[in-house]
Protein backbone atom coordinates (compact mmCIF):
# COMPACT_ATOMS: atom_id res chain seq x y z
CA UNK A 1 0.00 0.00 0.00
CA UNK A 2 1.21 3.48 -0.72
CA UNK A 3 -1.30 5.47 1.31
CA UNK A 4 0.54 7.72 3.76
CA UNK A 5 -1.58 10.86 4.08
CA UNK A 6 -5.12 11.68 5.12
CA UNK A 7 -7.48 11.55 2.15
CA UNK A 8 -5.36 9.26 -0.07
CA UNK A 9 -6.89 5.95 -1.13
CA UNK A 10 -5.69 3.08 -3.32
CA UNK A 11 -8.29 0.38 -2.69
CA UNK A 12 -11.84 0.90 -3.87
CA UNK A 13 -13.50 -2.06 -2.23
CA UNK A 14 -15.56 -2.77 0.84
CA UNK A 15 -13.32 -3.67 3.75
CA UNK A 16 -16.16 -5.57 5.42
CA UNK A 17 -15.63 -8.48 2.97
CA UNK A 18 -11.99 -9.02 3.93
CA UNK A 19 -9.80 -9.84 6.89
CA UNK A 20 -7.76 -6.75 7.78
CA UNK A 21 -4.16 -6.75 8.98
CA UNK A 22 -1.65 -3.99 9.69
CA UNK A 23 1.74 -3.48 11.28
CA UNK A 24 0.90 -0.27 13.17
CA UNK A 25 -2.78 0.20 14.03
CA UNK A 26 -2.88 3.90 14.86
CA UNK A 27 -1.09 4.86 11.66
CA UNK A 28 -3.23 2.54 9.51
CA UNK A 29 -6.50 4.04 10.74
CA UNK A 30 -5.37 7.69 10.73
CA UNK A 31 -3.31 8.06 7.53
CA UNK A 32 -3.28 4.54 6.07
CA UNK A 33 -5.68 2.69 3.83
CA UNK A 34 -8.03 1.83 6.70
CA UNK A 35 -8.92 5.48 7.28
CA UNK A 36 -11.63 4.91 4.64
CA UNK A 37 -13.43 2.10 6.43
CA UNK A 38 -16.24 2.22 8.95
CA UNK A 39 -15.08 2.45 12.58
CA UNK A 40 -17.09 -0.66 13.47
CA UNK A 41 -15.29 -2.64 10.77
CA UNK A 42 -11.90 -1.58 12.10
CA UNK A 43 -12.81 -2.27 15.72
CA UNK A 44 -14.04 -5.78 14.93
CA UNK A 45 -11.69 -6.90 12.18
CA UNK A 46 -8.29 -5.22 12.31
CA UNK A 47 -5.48 -7.49 13.50
CA UNK A 48 -1.85 -6.55 13.93
CA UNK A 49 0.36 -8.81 11.81
CA UNK A 50 2.66 -9.36 14.80
CA UNK A 51 -0.22 -11.07 16.60
CA UNK A 52 -0.55 -13.53 13.71
CA UNK A 53 3.20 -14.13 13.43
CA UNK A 54 3.46 -14.82 17.17
CA UNK A 55 0.49 -17.21 17.12
CA UNK A 56 -1.73 -15.04 19.34
CA UNK A 57 -4.21 -14.38 16.50
CA UNK A 58 -5.35 -16.44 13.55
CA UNK A 59 -4.45 -15.44 10.03
CA UNK A 60 -5.74 -16.69 6.71
CA UNK A 61 -7.66 -19.96 7.02
CA UNK A 62 -8.21 -21.02 3.40
CA UNK A 63 -7.54 -20.01 -0.20
CA UNK A 64 -10.88 -18.23 -0.58
CA UNK A 65 -10.17 -15.78 2.25
CA UNK A 66 -9.68 -12.18 1.18
CA UNK A 67 -6.98 -10.42 3.17
CA UNK A 68 -5.76 -6.83 3.13
CA UNK A 69 -2.49 -5.82 4.77
CA UNK A 70 -1.81 -2.13 5.27
CA UNK A 71 1.92 -1.74 5.79
CA UNK A 72 3.23 1.36 7.49
CA UNK A 73 6.78 0.21 6.92
CA UNK A 74 7.51 -0.54 10.56
CA UNK A 75 10.50 -2.88 10.87
CA UNK A 76 9.77 -6.26 12.44
How high is the pLDDT of residue 48? 93
Q: Is residue 1 part of a domain?
A: no
What is this structure's pTM? 0.82
Q: Is residue 31 part of a domain?
A: yes
Domain count, the chain: 1
Q: What is the pLDDT of residues 4-44, one digit of tens each?
A: 788 888 877 777 788 999 998 888 888 888 888 888 778 78
Domain encompassing residue 50: 15-70
Q: Is residue 2 part of a domain?
A: no
Sign of the CA dihedral running 33, 38, 40, 41:
negative
Q: Is residue 54 part of a domain?
A: yes
Amino acid sequence: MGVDTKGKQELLLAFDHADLYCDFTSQSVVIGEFQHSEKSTITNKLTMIGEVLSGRAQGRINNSDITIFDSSGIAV
